[in-house]
Amino acid sequence: MALIVQKYGGSSVVDAERIKSVARRVAATRDEGNRVVVVVSAMGDTTDELVNLAYQITEQPSERELDVLLSTGEIVSSTLLAMVLKSMGYDAISLTGAQAGIRTDATYSRARILKVESKRVVKELEKGNIVIVAGFQGITEEMDITTLGRGGSDTTAVALAASLGAEVCQIYTDVEGVYTANPRLVPEAQQLPEIGYEEMLELASYGAKVMHPRAVELGELFNIPILVASSFTDNPGTLIYGGASMEVRNKVRSIVYDLDVAKIMVVGVPDRPGIAAALFEPLAKANISVDTIVQNASINNITDLTFTVAKSDLDKAMEVVEPLARSIGARECVSDSKLSKVNIIGTGMQNTPGYAARMFGTLSEQGINIQLITTSEIRITCIIDEARVKDAVRALHRAFELDTEG
Amino acid sequence: MALIVQKYGGSSVVDAERIKSVARRVAATRDEGNRVVVVVSAMGDTTDELVNLAYQITEQPSERELDVLLSTGEIVSSTLLAMVLKSMGYDAISLTGAQAGIRTDATYSRARILKVESKRVVKELEKGNIVIVAGFQGITEEMDITTLGRGGSDTTAVALAASLGAEVCQIYTDVEGVYTANPRLVPEAQQLPEIGYEEMLELASYGAKVMHPRAVELGELFNIPILVASSFTDNPGTLIYGGASMEVRNKVRSIVYDLDVAKIMVVGVPDRPGIAAALFEPLAKANISVDTIVQNASINNITDLTFTVAKSDLDKAMEVVEPLARSIGARECVSDSKLSKVNIIGTGMQNTPGYAARMFGTLSEQGINIQLITTSEIRITCIIDEARVKDAVRALHRAFELDTEG
């Protein structure tokens, strides 16, 4: 009997009707003879509502308390799903993250899973239960409740799949799968039947909202095949697995973009050792993720340092950087928040020349100025004016012949 | 440093403003140099809303799942109160029932507390924290979440007070304390500054909504003084403690009534051993609490059995009783749901004649027919037509000179 872990996101359990519909999917999987573990997110906007409630109380809610508060959202939906399944005649039981043995570190609001003590889940499966686990949450060694941050429920699902040795982890969401580009932007975008972990990781990290990179990374680490599919349709979805990466395609797989990009330039910095550390350590301490970092070649021992942060972090980052820039003798500090990232991603690009040139050429033909460039082995990223992102994605989708992916 | 346990009910934490107001009360208690443990109920109607959500999902929600669902209500309010206190500069931490070590049996929806493993609470108190515990909930040996049923949060508070050796358990609610009668019915009703456990137990059991009898019983068992007071005013409230019972007063202490009474008469029952068991064991198995039971003197070995149940249980009880009545050869089975109970309560009545006579006489003067009578050492109960309850309470309040209680 195969073990399948399924995860249903917030839009899939938004109300009683949707929860019943999810229950029918779960029941069908069970009827096919599988053992089933289900991870659920909080219903619809519950998490946002709980956050609002906290902010009605205080402008700076304690992170520990906020985590306990938010964890209730997933507990509610897990119990409701278990109730429907039981009322349909299936054996089912809900478990909180703590009960399911999701052990995390104590970094509230973005805890990392340390291990899954799956004894209880295994026991309930052996009893014949469909096990519904509240996603997004765990418990520390001190028995304090934590939440896993963005992509938390996906991570719960993949971690459970890994610890239980599941055949597949199915992530049900409100999109049909992974596409060659955002279909809302590019009507010709094609759905990919499969994709490798590394490609998916780059996609998820660079703008595809389908899945959180943490969960993909975990899937890769434990070699758990992950199916991303819609809970609203019968579209077969996209399977993320190692095998898909092995097959080298001389192709770009997908164009993704990210509008959440702001740039800070520290101009006229004396180029001496320790300058980068002096800037980026305080930013890390202020809990600001710095993304792309570019340092121009030094001229007369004077250089420019440019880096990007999330738009929401820009003000906080400037507060940290401006005094530092003065203290290290930089000339000035400028920022730009009207930016976006456009990325082409595909293992097919590995060791194959010409992709970068074609990307830059395509953007140039569109009259789009490239502000920063970064690359990985399977990704090329250009930072451009956010107003031109649609044109850029469409032109690249055509240029890399993704309209015909089948 | 004294340890004080405070409990705030749902109406005391109905919204952000009320939670802030509760926080100020808690902070004031802390400022007076006390260590403080606070037990909170769910905000306002949260529990009802969660129940409704469950019934949208299924007509017969699993009791285990319902308990997990309902437990989230108290967790939410406990985190919010902890957040306010922290934002006010106080060290505070919320604990779920499980974290606070409230260990119960596995009787979902009305679990009994077996013990309190207060290690974590003690540790947090030693760290200087105000400890906020989610009321109404506990955890079984199997780590399954339970709820304690009616009066659950009061019970949590008194159990914690007992296990921690608290100086007093303060129950803050939306009434000012214990009265000689319901002040909404009897404007002359007087507030009692103090009352003994036993009297309070009878009051709580026989209609006073102030506190649940379970919590009073627990307080008596561990000799924890319980203050019942309003969280909306500075009225000093009513202190429930052993000493108050010791002092024998030749007085009725309070008149209470209960509208939730329905009567079932099994008429013409052959009077032989085992008849009562044949009726009441199946009722107990159907989880129906039978209250007053009266069996008339047998004539020609034929008797009548009358008993009362909660109005909400009447239909279910009749379903159980009717076939049984037939099988034991009873003539018929009749019910009446338009009843109420009126009780006079006071340790002063112990071993003192005349109270019953005065009660019956007063009701008779009002032309109120008494359907059933039961008594304890410190209580006399008459079951009467529910339409006359107001007249009965007012007349008894005058007859026992409670208008002048000081």
The CATH number of residue A87's host domain is 3.40.1160.10
Q: Do A83 and B61 touch (CB under 8 A)?
A: yes
Residues A40 and A136 grouped into a single domain: yes
Out of A61, A76, A143, the one facing B72 most closely (by C-beta) is: A76
Res A377: pLDDT:
80
User: How far is B58 from chain A, CA to nearest CA, in Å?
Assistant: 6
Same domain (yes/no): B167, B262: no
CA dihedral for A180, A184, A187, A191, sign (positive or negative): positive
To the nearest whole Å, the CA of B222 is away from the closest chain A CA by 29
pLDDT tens track for B258-294? 999 999 999 998 887 777 788 888 888 888 888 888 8
Nearest CA distance, B156 vs chain A (angstrom): 19
Q: For residue A288, which phi and psi values (nearest 5 degrees)?
A: -105, 120
The C-alpha of A19 sits at a distance from chain B's nearest C-alpha, in angstroms, of 8
Q: Percent of chain A at pLDDT above 70?
A: 97
Question: A146 and A137 in contact (C-beta within 8 Å)?
Answer: yes
Q: Does B86 contact chain A (CB < 8 Å)?
A: yes
d(CA B2, CA B85): 20
DSSP H or E segment with residue B25: helix B16-31
Q: Which residues of B touch A66 (CB under 8 A)?
A: 79, 83
Give yes or no: residues B266 and B397 share one domain. Answer: yes
Residue whose structure tokens are 């993909």: A216
Q: Does A202 reside within a domain?
A: no
Amino acid at B303: T
Reading phi first (left if > 0) and then psi (alpha if -120 to 50, else beta), residue A289 is in: beta
Among B144, B174, B204, identify where a domain stops.
B174
- In a domain? residue B191: no
Q: B299 — phi, psi (to 5°)?
A: -120, 125
Any domain includes B233: no
Percent of chain A with pLDDT over 90: 70
Residue A205 lies in a domain: no
In angstroms, rounded to a whole number, what is the distance separating the alpha carbons of residues A340 and B405? 77
Chain B CB contacts of A96 under 8 Å are 68, 145
Last residue of some domain: A110, A143, A174? A174
> Can you tell me the mean pLDDT for B71-76?
97
A-B contacts at Cβ under 8 angstroms: 111
Query: In the beta sheet, which residues pair with residue A98?
Result: none
**Same domain assignment for residues B130 and B33:** yes
Give me the long-range contacts of B273-282 (CB less than 8 A, separation at least 24). B275/B305, B275/B328, B276/B305, B278/B324, B278/B327, B278/B328, B279/B305, B279/B321, B279/B324, B279/B325, B279/B328, B280/B307, B282/B320, B282/B324
Stretch A326-348: mean pLDDT: 90
User: Per-residue pLDDT tens for B343-354?
Assistant: 999 887 766 778
- Closest approach of chain B CAs to the CA of A233, in angstroms? 22
Q: Which chain B positions have a beta carbon within 8 Å of A78's beta carbon?
A: 68
Greater pLDDT, B277 or A345: A345
Q: Please check whether residues A158 and A270 belong to one and the same domain.
A: no
Asked if the Cβ–Cβ distance from B86 to A62 is below 8 Å, we say yes
B132 to A216, A262, A310, B83: CA distances (angstroms): 38, 41, 36, 10
Among A277-281, A323-327, B166-170, which is the least confidently predicted range? A277-281
Q: What is the mean pLDDT of chain A?
A: 91
Domain that holds residue B371: 255-404
Considering the domain architecture, whether residues A132 and A264 belong to the same structural domain is answered as no
**In this complex, do B65 and A57 lie within 8 Å of one another by their Cβ atoms?**
no
Do B153 and B302 fall into the same domain?
Answer: no
- The CATH number covering residue B357 comes to 3.30.2130.10
* Chain A residues with beta carbon closer than 8 angstroms to that of B57: 16, 19-20, 80, 83-84, 87
B363-376 per-position pLDDT tens digit = 999 999 998 888 88
Q: Using the structure block, give the residue that is written with the tokens 């214990």.
A: B178
Q: Output phi, psi for B231, to 5 deg.
A: -85, 0
Longest Cα–Cα distance in chain B: 77
**Do residue A165 and residue A262 come from a single domain?**
no
Stronger pLDDT, A117 or A272, i.e. the higher one? A117
Q: Does A54 touch chain B (CB under 8 A)?
A: yes
A53 and B CB contact within 8 Å: yes
Most B CBs within 10 Å, among A56, A80, A102, to test the B interface: A80
Displacement of CA A120 from its chain's centroid (Å): 28
Query: Residue A344 — pLDDT band, cuts 50, 70, 90?
Result: very high
Q: Which of B111, B139, B174 represents a domain boundary (last residue)?
A: B174
Rg (CA), chain A: 23
Residue in B19, B56, B72 nearest the CB of A57 = B19
Please give the C-alpha separations between residue B272 and each of B266, B268, B298, in angstroms, as whole numbers: 14, 12, 10
Domain count, chain B: 2
Q: Tell me whether residues A84 and B58 touch, CB distance under 8 A.
A: yes
Percent of chain B surpassing pLDDT 70? 97
The Cα–Cα gap between A134 and A144 comes to: 16
pTM value is 0.84
Residue A386 pLDDT level (bands cut at 50, 70, 90): very high
Interface predicted TM-score (ipTM): 0.80
Q: Pick the most confident of A27-41, A182-196, B277-291.
A: A27-41
Say whether residue B57 is in contact with chain A using an 8 A CB cutoff.
yes
Structure tokens at B207: 């209609």
Q: What confidence score (pLDDT) does residue B250 get?
A: 58
Q: Does B106 touch chain A (CB under 8 A)?
A: no
In angstroms, the Cα distances linking B104 to A12, B152, B216, B399 are 35, 12, 18, 45
> Cα B211 from chain centroid?
5
* A289 and A148 within one domain: no
Which residues in chain A have their CB less than 8 angstroms from residue B58's CB? 83-84, 86-87
Average pLDDT, chain B: 91
| B151, B56: one domain | yes
Query: Which residue would you say has higher pLDDT here, B94 or B347?
Result: B94
Q: How confident is the model at residue A406 (pLDDT cuts 50, 70, 90)?
A: very low
B226 vs B185: CA distance, rounded Å:
25
- Residue B302, pLDDT > 90, answer no
Q: Is residue B229 part of a domain?
A: no
- Name the residue with tokens 């902010």: A55
- Are A8 and A155 contained in the same domain? yes
pLDDT of residue B406: 45
Over residues A297-312, the pLDDT tens digits come to 777 888 888 899 999 8
| B155 and B7 share one domain | yes
A280 vs A268: CA distance, rounded Å: 17
SS3 A342: strand
Tell me the average pLDDT across B16-45.
97
Q: Which residues in chain A have their CB less than 8 angstroms from residue B54's CB?
A: 79-80, 83
Do the Cβ atoms of A83 and B16 come within 8 Å? no
* Mean pLDDT, residues B185-203: 91
Whether A391 maps to a domain, the answer reads yes
Residues A194-252 have pLDDT tens digits of 999 988 998 888 877 888 888 999 999 999 999 999 999 999 999 999 876 555 565 78
Tokens read off for B195: 């009352």
